[in-house]
Every structure is written in C-alpha cells, then in structure tokens.
Amino acid sequence: MPWVKIGSKEGLADEFKGLSSVDQKRLLPRGALPINILDIDELEATLNGVTGICPGKNGIKKEVVALEGYYPPKFGIWATHRLYRVIYTVEEARMYVIAKQMTKRDGDKEFWALFYRFYDEPYMPVPYYFLYDSRLEREFKEVFGYFWMQYIEHDINFEEYLLNWTIGEIDRLEFYNLGDLLRLLWSKGVKHNDLKGEHLLLKGDRWHLIDFEKFKHLKNPKDREDDLSILIGDSTLFLDGYMRFHRIEFEGEIKKRYEEFVRAVLGEFGIDIRQNPHFKTFLGVIRSHGIRESAVFK
C-alpha cells in the first residue's frame, strides 16, 4: 500500500512535490475542515487533546513525525482516497493512526458499525473518535470531519492475493480465517455492501476487514451473495487490469489457478454468484474474453 508523505517537521516531502499539480490537488484535503490536517502542530494538538484517540496512550505526549496520504497507482493510473496515516512517537516508539476524511453522515455511520457491532471483535479496526465541528455548517455548504481509527498493518490485500496466486507468486492457496471473518460479519446482521478486495487486508495468517461506511443491515441470505459477488468481481477486475497492462494472456496455468481460487472461495460459503446482478455488472466491464468465458461461471 503506497503512501505519499505530505508534511513533516521538515515540511513537504520531495515525493509529494514530485507529483503533478493535478495529483497534488486530488490528494490534499478540500472543503471546510475542523482542523488543518497539513499543520503538524494542529495534528499534535488533536492527538494529545481529544479523548478517545489512541486509547491507553492519552496523557502521554504524542509527537507527530509526518503525515502521509494513501495514493495507490494502479497500472499507470493514479487514484486517491481521502485517507491519511499520521506517524507519531510515544516515548520514542513509532506509532500510526488513521484519519479518514468523511461527511457527518458517513462518519457517524461507520463509527456506529465499528463501535456498536464490532468493538470487541478481532480483525476489525478499533474506532477512536469522529472529529466533526458542526458550527462550520452555518458558514459552509460542505463540511467534513475526520474519523480517527486504528491503523491495520498488513502485507497484502485480497485483490493482490488473487493476482499473486493466479500468476504463480504464491505456492499454496490458504484462506486462513476468511470464512470465520465473513460469517462473523453476517452473524452481526451486517451486509458490508462494499466488500472490495482492497478492504480485506492480510497480516501474517489473519485477514482483517475495514471500511464500513456503506454498510447495510442484513435482511436476507441474498445479501451475503451480494457481498461475495462484489469481492470476487472487484478482485477479478483488478486481475483483468493487471493482465491487460502487462499483456498477459488468460490461459493455461493462469486460467486453472484463477478458477481454483474462485471455486474455493465460493465453496467455503456454498454460494453461487453466477446470476447475481452485481457480478454480472463486473463481468460486463472485464475485457478479458477468457475470464468472461471461464468455466467457473458456466
């Protein structure tokens, strides 16, 4: 997961200055904000002064080292999320916290899901605080807050795992706690509703699930099918983009491995996504004829 450093004690980083002006503007916060997230002193004041951020560390001075923006390039195309990782030190130990720029509606929604549904559950981020200044609504039409939460360190996400398995960079297919994690999600009456591959993060031998701002209440078994359709469809789209960018044909061992992966995931839950409208939408934009005609979807 690439991060571009925006500001530090030394100012703006060279890697940020090296971006085009258009890319810089896309990465920088916009609209009316409760804090100026580019100001290191303001970040320190927030970390040290707001109850709820980094539980167990309050009362101990936190010194901000740098602010980084999540800015992942995919196959030559730059895309950005309004997500920031703050690097700080506590008693000389280097630590991280996430600040996610959100509207009040989305921030309240994600905080509710994480706090009231999954607070004591492992493999979900711990919510710290949603910092929002409602007084700004009197002066500005568009106001954002920052949802502070635990940073989930990870090695790879689900779409990258599918890619690496398919092209042979992973020798053994292993899903670890994926089945238990998604069953836990659904047992709590929650449909993730945005179960993209980049929202499932693997650290060691444990998957973690993030990004609940679009969740809905689980109403029927088809909702689980929708979640898996998005997960397989989005990750397949990532694979399709990679193969087109690198001019790799979907055939032979690559085709065999892809089909084994999809069958294993769907078999874990006994779910058939072939007729799901979400999955059909993904197949409609996938350019690889081989993927669209895969035996998995016959």
Quote the mean pLDDT of the chain: 90
Q: What percent of the chain has pLDDT over 70?
A: 96
Q: Do 66 and 97 form a contact (C-beta atoms < 8 A)?
A: no
What is the structure's pLDDT at 34?
Answer: 61
Burial of 102 (0-12, 13-18, 19+ CB in 10 A): buried
Tell whether the model's pLDDT for residue 1 goes beyond 70.
Answer: no
Q: Do 197 and 159 form a contact (C-beta atoms < 8 A)?
A: yes
What is the structure's pLDDT at 51?
Answer: 76
pLDDT tens column, 97-107: 999 989 999 99
What is the structure's pLDDT at 123?
Answer: 95
What is the structure's pLDDT at 58?
Answer: 66
Starting at the edge strand found earlier in the chain, the sheet holding 11-12 runs 11-12, 3-8, 63-70, 83-90, 93-102, 145-149, 127-131
What is the structure's pLDDT at 297?
Answer: 84
Tell whether the model's pLDDT for residue 32 goes beyond 60.
Answer: no
What is the structure's pLDDT at 247?
Answer: 93
To which H or E segment does residue 112 belong?
helix 104-112
To which H or E segment does residue 280 belong?
helix 277-285
Strands (E), the chain: 3-8, 11-12, 63-70, 73-74, 77-78, 83-90, 93-102, 127-131, 145-149, 156-157, 190-191, 200-203, 206-209, 216-217
By C-alpha distance, which of 207, 226, 201 is closest to 216? Answer: 226
pLDDT tens column, 190-221: 999 999 999 999 999 999 999 999 999 999 98
C-alpha 230: how far from chain center = 14
Report the range of poorest mean pLDDT among 10-14, 170-174, 204-208. Answer: 10-14
C-alpha 229: how far from chain center = 17
* Cα–Cα separations (whole angstroms), residue 112 to 52, 199, 274: 15, 18, 33
Tell whether the model's pLDDT for residue 140 goes beyond 70.
Answer: yes
Residue 49: band (very low, low, confident or very high) from pLDDT cuts 50, 70, 90: confident
Q: Domains in the chain, start-ordered, CATH in brackets?
A: 3-149 (no CATH), 156-297 (1.10.510)
* Cα–Cα separations (whole angstroms), residue 265 to 143, 155, 196, 271: 40, 20, 14, 9
Amino acid at 158: F
Residue 70: band (very low, low, confident or very high) from pLDDT cuts 50, 70, 90: confident
What is the structure's pLDDT at 141?
Answer: 81
